[in-house]
Amino acid sequence: MRFFRKTSLYLSLFLYFFLYESSMAANTIRRGESLRDGINHKPLVSPQKTFELGFFSPGSSTHRFLGIWYGNIEDKAVVWVANRATPISDQSGVLMISNDGNLVLLDGKNITVWSSNIESSTTNNNNRVVSIHDTGNFVLSETDTDRPIWESFNHPTDTFLPQMRVRVNPQTGDNHAFVSWRSETDPSPGNYSLGVDPSGAPEIVLWEGNKTRKWRSGQWNSAIFTGIPNMSLLTNYLYGFKLSSPPDETGSVYFTYVPSDPSVLLRFKVLYNGTEEELRWNETLKKWTKFQSEPDSECDQYNRCGKFGICDMKGSNGICSCIHGYEQVSVGNWSRGCRRRTPLKCERNISVGEDEFLTLKSVKLPDFEIPEHNLVDPEDCRERCLRNCSCNAYSLVGGIGCMIWNQDLVDLQQFEAGGSSLHIRLADSEVGENRKTKIAVIVAVLVGVILIGIFALLLWRFKRKKDVSGAYCGKNTDTSVVVADLTKSKETTSAFSGSVDIMIEGKAVNTSELPVFSLNAIAIATNDFCKENELGRGGFGPVYKGVLEDGREIAVKRLSGKSGQGVDEFKNEIILIAKLQHRNLVRLLGCCFEGEEKMLVYEYMPNKSLDFFLFDETKQALIDWKLRFSIIEGIARGLLYLHRDSRLRIIHRDLKVSNVLLDAEMNPKISDFGMARIFGGNQNEANTVRVVGTYGYMSPEYAMEGLFSVKSDVYSFGVLLLEIVSGKRNTSLRSSEHGSLIGYVSFPKTKSKNCCSLLMSI
């Protein structure tokens, strides 16, 4: 019996060590071992099965390559290829560690088709091992020191992965470049490459052929690339990119990217067609989704409008123009760019007058700048440019410092928002002329606006007089609330209808749970929509304060005829908010739909919205910590009602500080349900191609992929909570390394500090 027990114990130990060795062999190759292609080929698999390394044939090709691809998802995109220029014609490939310690790939004739090509510093190479990591890095190291001798991350092909270090040495000009495939099925080096430009302030450049620039990212400012203004809005980007200088390599700097959520699969790839894409794995859709692509427009094409020209995206095509003070060299030929109209003072060798600077705002800064990192004062930067006759412009950017341009200004682009300010050096006469032109334009515009306004006012008063004097609801001209069957335009004198259908864009919307006001009653309540009663404006149109005949104060949201967005909001709020009753939700009292008029009638909130107090330095003190906690609690209760306790399960989709209204007792009420969506009983999430809401409050999966759920509102609530306790807007830190309040609290350096520094003192 004892013999069998011992035998069983020995057998268990043998199986344990055998399985342990087998599991180790699944992601490693030691000296004397090999990975062979063929029918029984099994790739190396990283510990968490995130990546695999093995032999493959792209598309319909019969050539064999050694590569790395994703292992545990359906779309096994290839991220690295070893022998991309030297394919093997059959399945005879063998990967092994050679006698000199190098990692080599041999074909069927025992010819080396690829090698790690490192010089061995030791005579003992038996302790070397190569393994595939969960980062996608293929590493050759020594077992006793675990020191990397060679790694695939230092020899990339066409894909940049998180935690990969992109090296550049401005002193030597060396840099890591990502080279595209030649075609979709040919991994051999293609015609496009992507890397960090070693000259000037660090920026990403896409080259075509022999270093012909095709696109560039703009300068790195320690938070974003200045030529990608929407980068600060994409959570995939934020808090991930870093620039560091390793102490052991003089002159070298590294770009690294470590996402805030390591479980999210991301990759950046340069394609064979000359574009660079940023892709994120969508587990719900089971495919890669693109959240950014460069170049993305005509104006993104490098130097689209030539020297001293600027490209502005208006419509579908980029429009070129010369910057002020310059004229086109050859009319119709933008490749030749523009030239200065009036020489600078230093060029004319005269002492009369002084060169001036014209500021261009929200632009992509030109290429080939000279950084002056030690200058951080605007006046010092300006003087540095004035002292050099070759200086054409300067800019002072946070995170970079002063930048000077002594060459032609190339690759200028005008943005709608974001970007940087560029100060163009011009002769004083050019700047004076520009000021006179601006004054003339402003005067002409003002005169035109006044005349149009007078005409519009007279027309509106005439039309209003005609409409209000008429019988809006048949023969009933009483100023009390009148309900009308607006679908069939029937007359009624009852106070409220039991069930009324109104037609909005051909669709009947039932208002059985919502009173319908007459236009006559609302016009009287708001004093004929006078300007003094206007509370504000939104994308839907103006909001007016009014008083009903019974003394109740109301807020009337009047849909503008030019607002397509407002029509959808109007329908949504009638359908949704009429069914919701909660002390922390704004109450919809009724609606009006007559002729061209569409209006929603709410209870009036005398203390306006939360942002009125929260972001005003003089009013912040009015909401102490006790009141702030009460407001937070009220918003949470309202959100819980929407998600769990109401008759309908509602996802708000636009929860933000300006959509939280305050009543006379400072009780918070969630408003604006125009973007809201109803969820079924078992529905957990939904997808939309029309992403609506406000950037900064949107969850990452909603902003980039259109996926929204209860979690989307919870994310917005988290942003709202940070704004309430800090007294700062989420986007107030956009120019810093954190990018936003969320970036501040999740930033690694901040985590180790006292997060109470975020709390404002009251």
Sequence-distant (≥ 6) Cβ neighbours of residue 307 within 8 angstroms: 337, 338, 408, 409, 410
Bond prior to 371 in cis (omega within 30° of 0): no
φ, ψ dihedrals at 615, nearest 5°: -110, 15
Q: Which residue has the tokens 């632009």?
A: 363
Say how far apart CA 504 and CA 517 lie, in whole Å.
16
Catalytic choice (107, 654, 672, 713): 654
The shares of helix, strand and coil residues in the chain, as percent rounded to the nearest 5, are: 25, 30, 45
654 carries an active-site annotation: yes
Burial degree of 240 (CB within 10 A; 0-12, 13-18, 19+): middle
Q: Which residue from 185, 52, 35 is spatially nearest to 105, judged by alpha carbons?
A: 35
DSSP string over 394-448: EEEETTTEEEEE-S---SEEE-SS--EEEEEEE-HHHHHHHHHHHHHHHHHHHHH
Residue pair 204/126 in contact (Cβ under 8 Å)? The answer is no
Here the contacts of 499-502 (C-beta below 8 Å, separation 24 or greater) are 502/591, 502/593
Residue pair 444/382 in contact (Cβ under 8 Å)? The answer is no
3-state secondary structure 674-723: CCCEEECCCCCEEECCCCCCCCCCCCHHHHHHCEEEHHHHHHHHHHHHHH
Say how far apart CA 670 and CA 177 lie, in whole Å.
51
φ, ψ dihedrals at 23, nearest 5°: -70, -35
Sequence-distant (≥ 6) Cβ neighbours of residue 50 within 8 angstroms: 70, 71, 72, 134, 135, 136, 265
- Give the Å distances, CA to CA, from 60 to 42, 81, 735: 21, 17, 48
Sequence-distant (≥ 6) Cβ neighbours of residue 118 within 8 angstroms: 101, 102, 140, 149, 150
For residue 359, what are its two tokens? 């500021």
- Give the Å distances, CA to CA, from 493 to 57, 484, 693: 79, 8, 41
In sign, the C-alpha dihedral spanning 3, 5, 11, 13 is negative
Q: Say what angle helices 710-726 and 625-640 make with each other, to 10 degrees.
A: 170
First to last CA, the chain: 79
Other CB atoms within 10 Å distance of the CB of residue 507: 9
For residue 242, what are its two tokens? 């870093």
Say how far apart CA 699 and CA 715 lie, in whole Å.
6
In sign, the C-alpha dihedral spanning 157, 158, 159, 163 is positive
Q: Which residue from 163, 222, 500, 149 is spatially nearest to 373, judged by alpha carbons?
A: 222
3-state secondary structure 40-68: CCCCEECCCCCEEEEEECCCCCCCEEEEE
Number of helices followed by number of strands (H, E) in the chain: 12, 47
For residue 493, what are its two tokens? 């004198």
3-state secondary structure 235-250: CCCCCCEEEECCCCCC
Burial degree of 393 (CB within 10 A; 0-12, 13-18, 19+): buried
Residue pair 243/303 in contact (Cβ under 8 Å)? The answer is no
Residues with catalytic roles: 654
